[in-house]
Amino acid sequence: MVEKRKQKRRGPHSAVAGAKKKPGVSRKDRAEREMAYEVLRSIRKIIKRVSEHSKHLSRIAGLTVPQLMCLKCIGELESSGEVTAVQVSEIVYLSPPTVSRIIDRLEQAGLVSRVRLASDRRKVRLTLTDKGLERYLALPAPLQEIFVARYSALDAPSRVELLRALETITDLMDARDIDASPLLVPETTAQ
């Protein structure tokens, strides 16, 4: 009965809820472990938010986040001249083959057309179709754009501190060498 009262006081989700005090485990060690679990919970919340937002965008826009980013990029660049897959690839931080597959899907959906340039038949210009332009004008903001705007509003020391903390987490999770684009999207929807 006493143990149940202790568990209720700690909360059902506490890392040490219901656990008996182990000899040699100090209160400081338990507090540090609980803090580490809080960091992991925060990481999990970020992962869930990215997944939820990606699903939300897919429902309202009918596109995956990478497709949305490529369509948006083509729409923004089109007014300034010729748009190529290589340009889109550089701007959205995805590899040229990945962008090519995304453009294939956008073309199949009737949102983008490819036109060979008369001046250089090796180059292919990307343009939005009327349907693509309509979709482009109605695109919602991707999560990374919302994040960048909020991050930019922080003062410089806070931005640096946040970046350093995330780099430390990246190191702790042995993820430093993983190549990742700045698109906030679950890996399964990368195309």
* 20-42 pLDDT tens trace: 555 677 888 888 899 999 999 99
**Percent with pLDDT over 70 in the chain:** 82
Q: Is residue 110 domain-resident?
A: yes
pLDDT tier at 143 (50, 70, 90 boundaries)? confident
Instruction: Report the distance separating Cα 131 and Cα 112, nearest Å.
Output: 8
Query: By residue range, what is the domain housing residue 104?
Result: 62-137
What would you report as the CA-atom Rg of the chain, rounded to the nearest whole angstrom? 23
For the chain, helix, strand, coil in percent to 5 are 60, 5, 35
**Number of structural domains the chain divides into:** 1
Helix, strand, or coil (residue 34): helix
The larger pLDDT score, comparing residue 19 to residue 143, is at 143
Instruction: Report the distance separating Cα 17 and Cα 15, nearest Å.
Output: 6
**Res. 44: pLDDT tops 90:** yes
pLDDT tier at 53 (50, 70, 90 boundaries)? confident
Instruction: Report the distance separating Cα 61 and Cα 47, nearest Å.
Output: 21
Helix, strand, or coil (residue 116): strand
β-bridge partners, 124 = 116
What pLDDT is stored for residue 126 in this prediction?
A: 92
Cα–Cα nearest to 128, from 76, 80, 64: 76
Q: Is residue 78 domain-resident?
A: yes
Which whole number is the average pLDDT over 72-90? 88
The larger pLDDT score, comparing residue 165 to residue 142, is at 165
Q: Is residue 127 domain-resident?
A: yes
Q: Is residue 82 domain-resident?
A: yes
Q: Is residue 6 domain-resident?
A: no
Helix, strand, or coil (residue 114): strand
CATH number for the domain harbouring residue 90: 1.10.10.10
β-bridge partners, 127 = 113
Which whole number is the average pLDDT over 6-26? 56
The tens digit of pLDDT for each residue in 103-135 reads 999 999 999 999 887 777 677 889 999 999 999
**Res. 190: pLDDT tops 50:** no
pLDDT tier at 179 (50, 70, 90 boundaries)? confident
Q: Is residue 124 domain-resident?
A: yes
Measured between alpha carbons, how far is residue 38 from residues 13, 34, 161, 191 in Å? 11, 6, 18, 32
Q: Is residue 186 domain-resident?
A: no
Q: Is residue 122 domain-resident?
A: yes
CA torsion sign, 50 to 190 to 69 to 57? negative
Q: What average pLDDT does the chain have?
A: 83
What pLDDT is stored for residue 21 in this prediction?
A: 58
Instruction: Report the distance separating Cα 65 and Cα 105, nearest Å.
Output: 13
